[in-house]
Structure 1
Amino acid sequence: MQLGVIGLGRMGRIVVDRCLDAGHDVVAFDLSAEATARAAEAGAEAADSVEDLCDRLEAGEEGGRRIWLMVPAGEAVDATLADLEPYLTSEDVVVDGGNSHFEASVRRAEATEAAYLDCGTSGGPASAEAGFSLMVGGPRPAYEALTPVFDAVATGPEGHDRMGPSGAGHYVKMVHNGVEYALMQAYGEGFELLHEGRYDLDLESVARTWNNGAVIRSWLLELCEEAFREEGIDLGDVDDYVAGGSTGTWTVQEALEQEIALPIIYQALAERFGSRADEGRFSRRLSNRLRYGFGRHEVARRE
């Protein structure tokens, strides 16, 4: 299958590379000529503009072109869609693989000539080799047309599914991120008590032991072990400032609208915001380092 990819940052390049590895043809474009050139070196066909990318794409067997957007959520998505609009037809399929708000995805699906798929993407750059978890919303025929690409980008057929109509994919990803906040907070608080408590403990050893058969084993716990191994059990100079917050905020806002109590997720979000005013909490320092583990986000460090 031939796929156009717009946006060649860390996540976009993974989409390109995994599709190439699976034998798909990729036409790639980024506002950065260097990023486009690097994708071409990896085997993609380079385009020098959105128009050029559309010209290079051919209709598939079912008709239409397939285009994957991996640009920052918000204005960048709307700007890219505006650039694409003159070249799209009703037979084309556009995938938004970023962290867009689900209501924005519904609006874009209604306004876009092509079939529009909102694709929540989990795993981060650390999952480049294993593949992502993909939560997709939008028309079923469009989802089925992109299944070979989803198989390639995800961990395989079990790593993706259609969640429902337009918006459902990014809705599920939004709640996923709220759960992620809560899990990070729970691990952070547990290790804070162990760190400050009555025994002199090797937290790397604790994390490793827990992750071998314990009920609370998980990838996040593996990343806790990694953090203690690489930074030391006191986390060295890792700061307690925890960045991010948009998807957690959206989750709490939706819970308020639906009158669903999410006290743990709300408190995790509050702790994240509190990290920007208060100082000293070990749990926040661990959350800061965990974000690097799964997403390769920059680690804020003490001066």
Structure 2
Amino acid sequence: MQLGVIGLGRMGRIVVDRVVDAGHDVVAFDLDEEAVAAAADAGASPADSIEDFVSQLPEEKRIWLMVPAGDAVDATLDDLEPHLDEDDIVVDGGNSHFEKSVARGEALEAAYLDCGTSGGPAGAELGFSLMVGGPEWAYTEMVPVLDAIATGPQGHDHMGALGSGHYVKMVHNGVEYALMQAYGEGFELLSEGRYDLDMESIARTWNNGAVIRSWLLELCEEAFREEGNDLGTVADHISGGSTGTWTVQEALEQEVSIPLIYEALGERFDSRVGEDGKFSRRLANRLRYGFGRHEIERQE
């Protein structure tokens, strides 16, 4: 299959590399010329404009967007729309709000797949978890590249109608907030409790057979190993929050109680105005670097 990829940042470049490595052809475009050149060095065919990009794709175009959620998605779709018809497929692999995805899909002549993507930069080696919404025929058509981008056939599935992929990813991120909060609170109690304990050792031990073992716990172990038992200069400041906010808003609209996710979101916001130096929030700050390579806020 030939896939066009627009957006060659950290995640988009992983998409390119995994699809090329699986033996598919890739046409790559980004506003950053250096990113395009780097993708070409990795085996993709470079494009220097949207017009050049679509001209290199077959009549039935298969396009993957990995651009920041929001205006960048709309601007890219505006540029693509004159070149698309009902036989084409566009995948939005970013963290768009599900209602925006529904509106975009309904307005676009081409089939639109909203694809929630989880796994962060670690996906370069392992592959992503992909949650896909939209027309089922389009999902089926994209399976060869989904297999390549995901961890394999078990790493992706069709969630349902348009918007459902980003809806599932939204809730996934809410769960992620709550899990990070739970690990943070547990390690805060261990740190402030009555024994002199080695946090890295605890995380490693828990990750070998314990009920609460997980990748996030592996990242806790990494954090203590690299930052120290007291997390060193990692600040009590947790960035992000859009998908968690969307999750809480949806829960309110559906009248579903999600107190753990709500509390975790509140802690994230409070970290930006308080000066408590809470260990739990400092650990969450470091965990965001672990799975997403988000910048670590440091204490001055």
Q: What secondary structure does 2:146 align onto?
A: helix
Kept in 2: contact 1:117–1:166 (CA 8 A):
yes
Aligned mate of 1:151, from 138, 147, 152:
147
Q: Which amino acid aligns with 2:6?
A: I
* 1:301 equivalenced with 2:293 (yes/no): no
Identity of aligned residues (%): 78
Where in structure 1 are there 5+ consecutive unaligned residues? none
1:127 Cα offset (Å)? 2.2
- Distance of 1:46 and 1:127 partners within structure 2: 23
Kept in 2: contact 1:242–1:275 (CA 8 A):
yes
* 1:203 equivalenced with 2:193 (yes/no): no
Match of 1:181 in 2: 177
Q: What secondary structure does 2:295 align onto?
A: coil
- TM-score, normalising length: structure 2: 0.99
Match of 2:63 in 1: 67
Q: Which amino acid aligns with 2:294?
A: H
Q: Map 1:12-91 to 2 at 5 A.
A: 12-59=12-59, 64-91=60-87
Kept in 2: contact 1:125–1:294 (CA 8 A):
yes
Match of 1:260 in 2: 256
Q: Which amino acid aligns with 1:281?
A: K
Match of 1:271 in 2: 267
- Distance of 1:222 and 1:104 partners within structure 2: 34
Q: Which amino acid aligns with 1:256?
A: L
1:128 Cα offset (Å)? 1.2
- TM-score, normalising length: structure 1: 0.98
Q: Output one character per residue of 1:227-268: Cα deviation in whole Å (capped at 9) or x when no partner.
A: 000000100000010000000000000000000000000000
1:50 Cα offset (Å)? 1.1
Q: What secondary structure does 1:134 align onto?
A: strand
* 1:237 equivalenced with 2:228 (yes/no): no
Q: What secondary structure does 2:69 align onto?
A: coil
Q: Which amino acid aligns with 2:288?
A: R
Q: Map 1:90-169 to 2 at 5 A.
A: 90-169=86-165
Kept in 2: contact 1:204–1:233 (CA 8 A):
yes
Kept in 2: contact 1:3–1:67 (CA 8 A):
yes
Kept in 2: contact 1:68–1:96 (CA 8 A):
yes
- Distance of 2:123 and 2:264 partners within structure 1: 24
Q: What secondary structure does 2:5 align onto?
A: strand
Q: What secondary structure does 2:185 align onto?
A: helix
Q: What secondary structure does 2:28 align onto?
A: strand
- Distance of 1:103 and 1:230 partners within structure 2: 40
How many residues matched? 299
Q: What secondary structure does 1:129 align onto?
A: helix
Q: What secondary structure does 2:86 align onto?
A: coil
- Distance of 1:89 and 1:258 partners within structure 2: 36
Q: Which amino acid aligns with 2:209?
A: G
Aligned mate of 1:284, from 281, 285, 296:
281
1:126 Cα offset (Å)? 1.9
Following TM superposition, the consecutive aligned residue runs of length 4 or more in structure 1 with deviations greater than 2 angstroms are none
Q: What secondary structure does 2:157 align onto?
A: strand
Match of 2:208 in 1: 212
1:272 Cα offset (Å)? 0.2
Q: Output one character per residue of 1:30-72: Cα deviation in whole Å (capped at 9) or x when no partner.
A: 000000000000000000011111000013xxxx110000000
- Distance of 2:182 and 2:111 partners within structure 1: 40
- Distance of 2:270 and 2:97 partners within structure 1: 24
Kept in 2: contact 1:126–1:296 (CA 8 A):
no
Q: Output one character per residue of 1:276-295: Cα deviation in whole Å (capped at 9) or x when no partner.
A: 01121000000000000000
Q: Which amino acid aligns with 2:9?
A: G
- Distance of 1:211 and 1:220 partners within structure 2: 10
1:132 Cα offset (Å)? 0.2
- Distance of 1:42 and 1:99 partners within structure 2: 26
Where in structure 2 are there 5+ consecutive unaligned residues? none
